[in-house]
Structure 1
Amino acid sequence: MARFVRIVCLLALSALPGMPAWAQDEARPVRFTVDWALQGNHAIFALAEDNGHFAEQGLAVTMDRGYGSGDTLVKVASGAYDIGYADMNGLVPFNAQNPDNPLIVVFQVLDRTLASVVTLKSSGIARPADLAGKTLGAPEGEASRVLFPPFARANGLDPASVSWTSMAPNIRESMLAQGQVDAITGFISTSFFNLIAAGISEDDIVSLPFPDYGLDLYGSAIVTTAAYAEAHSDVVRGFVAATIAGINDTIADPEAGMEALVARDPLFDPVMEVDRLQLVLDRAMLTDNVKANGFGAIEPERMAKAVAVVADAYGIAQPPAAETLYTDAYLPPAAERMPAP
């Protein structure tokens, strides 16, 4: 009986449109980790699974929560996971330190970084120049803090004109809300909602997004090792195609995306997270570049400039060449990567 059921399931899978020939035999397992605890923007992966897009590509994907982009990069490089979702800017220092086991972006999900300076109206900070003489808070080594000096220089601000208070990530927004620092750095998609949860009115929150003030960096992406991508090109190609389908499903039905995440985490707050998803879509995913060129489109000159900025921020004298950090070899044609109307 079990053998009969397995045969029926395989026949059903083989009938799915776009199913690769090799996938008609058996789904391939893929160990996948995101960058943090499940949030609204992770619905793109949950719907890719629930709506059968991974299965259509012959993939059996196991998705785990992450503990920060840096941790995700380490776990993918070690082989603990096959594929990860992490801030692509982290590849610059990582690959510089690990040239024999480089990571590579196979699909750029966020076209803009979400890194930002975040403050409150009561601080009097409305533009980067207003940060002079202020105290900023962030964890030591956190990416947005490391990138603050080039952000400051891009806006004619001496990075040394601000002072820093180091703190754990989980108290960053509460320190700002309590007035213990004048501003913080972090991803606006995290800080904004943490401040609201701390009782701050949405109208009182002020953000200075890095991309709006001269630091035009890419954001989070699908990453894997160059070795894995070469050895499992069909898996990577299928994962990318399924993710794009998941993105368009999420845009079409955000509530379904939230339901998919609640099923994975009963403590997930769908009301707040649908707002977080919309913020990420508006600020980082549905950009003019994406609308014109499709999801995953990378401009080589822009990427080269971004790598130079990140290398300078981390003090990397010989950064990896920009073209070694990403590839478009696993992307479907542009027509298949366009945002759904």
Structure 2
Amino acid sequence: MHRLAVILFLSATLMIAGCGATPAATPTAPATGAPPAESAAPRSVVMGFPYIPNVQFAHFYLADAKGYYAAEGLNVSFDYNFETDVVQRVAQGTLQFALASGDSVLLARSQGLPVVTVMTNSQKFPSVLFSKQEANITTPKDLTRDGVTVGIPGRFGASWIGLLALLYAEQIPVETVNIQEIGFTQVAAVSEGKVTVAMGYGNNEPIQLERQGIPVNVIRIADYFPLASDGLITNERLIADDADTVRKFVRATLRGMADVIADPDAAFTIALDYIPELKGADQSTQDLQRAVLQATLNYWQSDKTPTEGLGFCDETNWRETYTFLRESGLLATDVDITKAFTNQFIRE
């Protein structure tokens, strides 16, 4: 598990509702953007997502639909796949941009892959532990009680990294926790009593349980350890050779993010045109995903957002994440974290 080739595959992923589905690989994007403001031919770029079309990508959809990318002279298409795939493709230059977690970036750079985070997507790491209120699981120490079982999809991804970081922060030996690998069945496993508590995403599984009328307790990983969460990544070569394209893409995406925060209902309606399965879904499914989007907004922001702005990369989070990965044996070599992220494009 500590070999880097394996760990890169098992690195933490973006907060995604209902993980486990097979991503679509075909780029999609409705041609709804306004024409570019400049007369020059638009610069074509591909944005890679580590999951299928989802409301949590609404800021990208809105930036496209409102013509923010086009106004910057960009012709953007969207591609959907796994996180390890998009990281590799950004490193190779076949994708210009993608979303990936901070630990994925550090692990990739330890293997010599020239990927850089140029904008933070989620200021708070989204993984949480959730359980029925009646189980009285309210602190990390409760996980070590006799009879308590902790369900995770598997020893990979954001759930696994988040759980390890929580135990690391609280100095709880992992062997003292009864961990059960349950696949992507967390909601059913908790509601049916197959496990006491499960790892999931704060903007997904707990919401599903509450909508079933089940009161829940939630332990947020971000309250105990400042993991560097998902962000927009690109290639060092693109920054060196075409920084203006990076600048324009970041600027337009941040405009979209601000608009989603300002009017999530309007953003949800726009996002439906980019998510065919959701647009054709019943009202209860759409209402659930609307709630997912609303809950997502909290993760995009932090106490530093009013002063540092949306997209800010917090060096403290990166340093803490690096230390955790090194001391846990998940990262086998030193990495210069100052080259793993930059704030230059959100400040221009």
TM-score (norm 1): 0.82
Confirm or deny that 1:52 pairs with 2:44.
Answer: no
Q: Deviation of residue 217 (structure 1)?
A: 1.7
Of stretches 287-296 and 53-62 in structure 1, the one that deviates more from structure 2 is 287-296
Consecutive unaligned residues in structure 2, runs of 5 or more? 1-33, 279-284
- SS at 1:326's partner residue? coil
Does the C-alpha gap of structure 1 residues 222 and 143 become closer, same or farther in structure 2, counting only changes over 3 Å?
Answer: same
Confirm or deny that 1:76 pairs with 2:76.
Answer: no
Measured in 1, the distance between the counterparts of 2:192 and 2:84 equals: 29
Measured in 2, the distance between the counterparts of 1:91 and 1:180 equals: 35
1:4 alignment counterpart: none
Q: Deviations over 1:223-242 (max 9, x none)?
A: 11222332221111110000
Confirm or deny that 1:243 pairs with 2:253.
Answer: yes
Does the C-alpha gap of structure 1 residues 51 and 244 become closer, same or farther in structure 2, counting only changes over 3 Å?
Answer: same
Measured in 2, the distance between the counterparts of 1:58 and 1:311 equals: 41
Task: Find 1:183's aligned residue among 197, 202, 210.
Answer: 197
1:13 alignment counterpart: 36
Does the C-alpha gap of structure 1 residues 200 and 162 become closer, same or farther in structure 2, counting only changes over 3 Å?
Answer: farther
RMSD: 2.2
Measured in 2, the distance between the counterparts of 1:112 and 1:218 equals: 8
Q: Is the 8 A contact 1:259 1:270 kept in 2?
A: no
Identity %: 20
2:79 alignment counterpart: 64
Confirm or deny that 1:113 pairs with 2:125.
Answer: yes
Measured in 2, the distance between the counterparts of 1:117 and 1:281 equals: 19
Q: Deviation of residue 162 (structure 1)?
A: 0.7
Q: Is the 8 A contact 2:41 2:73 kept in 1?
A: yes
- SS at 1:189's partner residue? coil
Q: Is the 8 A contact 2:268 2:293 kept in 1?
A: no
Q: Deviation of residue 12 (structure 1)?
A: 6.2
Q: Counterpart amino acid of 1:275?
A: A
Q: Counterpart amino acid of 2:294?
A: Q
Query: Which structure features the higher share of helix residues?
Result: 1
Q: Is the 8 A contact 1:119 1:206 kept in 2?
A: yes
Does the C-alpha gap of structure 1 residues 95 and 194 become closer, same or farther in structure 2, counting only changes over 3 Å?
Answer: farther
Task: Find 2:289's aligned residue among 270, 273, 277.
Answer: 273
Q: Deviations over 1:157-209 (max 9, x none)?
A: 3322112222323x23222222111112232223224445xx632x5222111
Measured in 2, the distance between the counterparts of 1:47 and 1:325 equals: 28
Q: Deviations over 1:301-327 (max 9, x none)?
A: 342122212333453232312111101
Measured in 2, the distance between the counterparts of 1:218 and 1:103 equals: 15
Does the C-alpha gap of structure 1 residues 314 and 273 become closer, same or farther in structure 2, counting only changes over 3 Å?
Answer: farther
1:255 alignment counterpart: 265
Query: In the TM superposition, what are the counterparts of 1:297-308 in structure 2 within 5 Å?
Result: 297-308=312-323
Measured in 2, the distance between the counterparts of 1:225 and 1:27 equals: 20
Confirm or deny that 1:212 pairs with 2:227.
Answer: no
Q: Deviation of residue 328 (structure 1)?
A: 2.0
Measured in 1, the distance between the counterparts of 2:76 and 2:65 equals: 11
Does the C-alpha gap of structure 1 residues 52 and 112 become closer, same or farther in structure 2, counting only changes over 3 Å?
Answer: same
- SS at 1:72's partner residue? helix
2:306 alignment counterpart: 291
Q: Deviation of residue 119 (structure 1)?
A: 1.7
Q: Is the 8 A contact 2:51 2:81 kept in 1?
A: yes
Does the C-alpha gap of structure 1 residues 43 and 90 become closer, same or farther in structure 2, counting only changes over 3 Å?
Answer: same
Measured in 2, the distance between the counterparts of 1:262 and 1:227 equals: 34
2:135 alignment counterpart: 123
1:232 alignment counterpart: 242
1:8 alignment counterpart: none
Measured in 1, the distance between the counterparts of 2:223 and 2:126 equals: 10
Task: Find 2:42's aligned residue among 16, 21, 27.
Answer: 27
Measured in 1, the distance between the counterparts of 2:35 and 2:191 equals: 54
Q: Counterpart amino acid of 1:50?
A: A
Q: Deviation of residue 50 (structure 1)?
A: 0.7
Q: Deviations over 1:118-147 (max 9, x none)?
A: 222232211111110422121122233134
- SS at 1:104's partner residue? strand
Does the C-alpha gap of structure 1 residues 297 and 12 become closer, same or farther in structure 2, counting only changes over 3 Å?
Answer: closer
- SS at 2:203's partner residue? helix
2:15 alignment counterpart: none
Q: Deviation of residue 329 (structure 1)?
A: 2.6
